[in-house]
Structure 1
Amino acid sequence: MRKLLIIKSLFTLLAVGFLSMGCEEKLDRSPYGFQEEDDSDLIAGAIFFQSFTNVGDGTVTDSTSGLMWKTCSQGQVFSGDATSYSCRGASGTLSNPSSFGATELQYCNVDLNACNTLGLPQTLSTTSPIGIAGSSEAYDSCANDNTGGHSDWRVASFLELKYLSSNSRNFMILKFPDTIESFYWSSTANEQDAGGKTARAVSFSRDRFGEDEAFSKTSRYFVRCVR
């Protein structure tokens, strides 16, 4: 835990130092999930994420949007406090080196509009509007979560995930450690898919950060909850 705090502090100081000196040298931060970013991206990220505050109970508040996010992806275990934290559990070890314990979940168990509303935006729901029953692992995972003492967690919408991935990935990692380099389901189905077979997901990987795609609803991807 102390190591993560030291890494965060060093990265922030070095980033500020390079920006102020106009230095062209870049650090290799890849072992810690960081990537090389332009100075303009770092500045934008520093400004954007200054409204995000880690509460210390597994939640992050954003005073700009009014949203509260879970610090960790579904399946991960928060450990730490408001200043030093990770999503690797109390022991600080990796139960799964590739995902830090995060769980891949289905948007729906059938490739139909059985798990989402039909009105725009088409959103995850427990009531099927087509007369065919469906169940959503992603929906249930957030709805049954009580992190921070809250019981109204939900899967983040497409626009909310795009908002979270709209700036520096490096500064996002400082607020949301151990984020998986993969796609995360949004709660939003693909309204352009007349057959209702796909839903929207957003990438949090280094090479495709903020990009989005539509995938089969029965596919499994990671989930981040918000309220």
Structure 2
Amino acid sequence: MRVLYFVKLIAFLSVAVLGFVGCEEKIDHNRYGFAPEDNNQLIAGALFFENFTNNGDGSTTDSISGLTWKTCSQGQTFSGNASQYDCQGSSGTVINPGTYGAKQLQYCSVNLESCNTLGIPQTLTAGSGASSEAFDSCAADGTAGGGWRVATFIELKYLSSNSRNFMLLKFPNTMDDYYWSSTANEQDGSGKTARAVSFSLSNFGDDEDFTKITRYFVRCVR
């Protein structure tokens, strides 16, 4: 039954994309919506995200990695149940409208190693003489029993390694932008930068280093 379901879903996504292409009038696409993907991407995404189960409480569990993710980006509110759900919130800000409540947070209040552990890899912590909006947001979040932390660089790369369309089915209203990882840029001797991963339509899965005082979106995991 699951195989038949995914075959039908892949067919639907393929037809939807072809329908957009065939229209004479240009359509103003939703920047957070589905993007054209070939059948190989869709099949890979169907198989990969088949292991992700929504728990109906704002969390989604991956049976392969054992990780449980917050279904919604920080600032958004989960609504619905395990079979029908959405991530909602306010319409955003004047600078960044349409965020469905998602908030952009600082990695650290200073461009130093004050918010990182001493070991390798350097990961995000509460901070010493500084503060981390990203760390505090996940640590204080009580969704589905709490215990959340900012996802590591490897975990975000894992989540963005397949079809963006199927990712959006599991994590609705994911922002078309970069998400902070908890991992500092260890090649930066000055300690000013940390690593982020893109969940945007144009460069899904790409990564970049940014100064720690910059604000980007955050997804929590445990």
Give the TM-score normalised by structure 1.
0.85
For 2:62 and 2:155, how far apart are their aligned partners in 1? Answer: 12
Root-mean-square deviation over aligned CA pairs: 2.2
SS at match of 1:64: coil
Separation in structure 1 between the aligned mates of residue 13 and residue 106 of structure 2, nearest angstrom: 42
**1:128-170 per-position Cα deviation (integer Å, ceiling 9, x unaligned):** 3xxxx111000000000010123x1000000000000000000
CA deviation digits over 1:104-123, x for unaligned, max 9? 00000000000001321110
Aligned to 2:119: 119
- Mapped to 2, the partners of 1:50 and 1:11 lie a distance apart of 9
- Aligned with 2:143 (options 144, 147, 170): 147
Q: For 2:214 and 2:53, how far apart are their aligned partners in 1? A: 32
Distance 1:149 1:199, change over 3 A: same
Q: 2:209 aligns with which of 207, 211, 214?
A: 214
Counterparts of 1:92-107 in structure 2, within 5 Å, are: 94-96=90-92, 97-107=97-107
SS in structure 2 opposite 1:213? strand
Please name the residue that 1:192 is paired with. Answer: 187
- C-alpha distance in structure 2 between counterparts of 1:74 and 1:203, whole Å: 16
The alpha-carbon distance between structure 1 residues 18 and 186, as it changes in their structure 2 partners (threshold 3 A), is closer
SS at match of 2:115: coil
**2:24 aligns to what?**
none
Equivalent residue, structure 2, for 1:50? 50
SS of corresponding position for 2:37: coil
CA separation of 1:77/1:11 partners in 2, compared to 1, >3 Å: closer, same or farther?
farther
Gaps of 5+ in 2: 21-26
Q: Give yes or no for contact 2:100–2:173 (8 Å, CA) kept in 1.
A: yes
State the SS of the aligned residue for 2:77. Answer: coil
Q: State the secondary structure of the residue aligned to 1:35.
A: coil
Question: Which range moves more in the overlay, 30-39 or 168-177?
Answer: 30-39
Distance 1:201 1:18, change over 3 A: closer
Q: Output one character per residue of 1:158-209: Cα deviation in whole Å (capped at 9) or x when no partner.
A: 0000000000000000000000000000000000000000000000000010
2:131 partner amino acid: S
Identity %: 63
Paired with 2:82 and 2:157, the residues of 1 have a C-alpha distance of 25
Matched letter for residue 143 of structure 1: A
Q: Give the match's secondary structure for 2:181.
A: strand
Q: How far apart are the structure 1 equivalents of 2:13 and 2:103?
A: 37
Q: Name structure 1 gaps, 5 residues minimum.
A: 1-9
Q: Are 2:177 and 1:182 aligned?
A: yes
Shift in alpha-carbon separation, 1:225–1:199, aligned structure 2, 3 A: same
The CA deviation at 1:15 is: 2.0
Runs of 4+ in 1 over 4 A off after TM superposition: none
Instruction: Quote the residue 1:202 is aligned against.
Output: 197
Cα–Cα, structure 1 residues 103 and 18, in superposed 2: closer, same or farther, change >3 Å? Answer: closer
Larger mean CA deviation between 184-193 and 96-105 belongs to 96-105
Amino acid at match of 2:137: S
Residue pair 2:10, 2:43 contacting (<8 A) in 1 also: no
CA contact (8 A) 2:177 2:198 kept: yes
Distance 1:14 1:47, change over 3 A: closer
Cα distance change of structure 1 residues 98 and 160 upon mapping to structure 2, 3 Å threshold: same
Q: Give the SS at the match of 2:44.
A: helix
Could you state the TM-score of these two structures normalised by the residue count of structure 2? Answer: 0.87
Q: Residue in 2 aligned with 1:4?
A: none
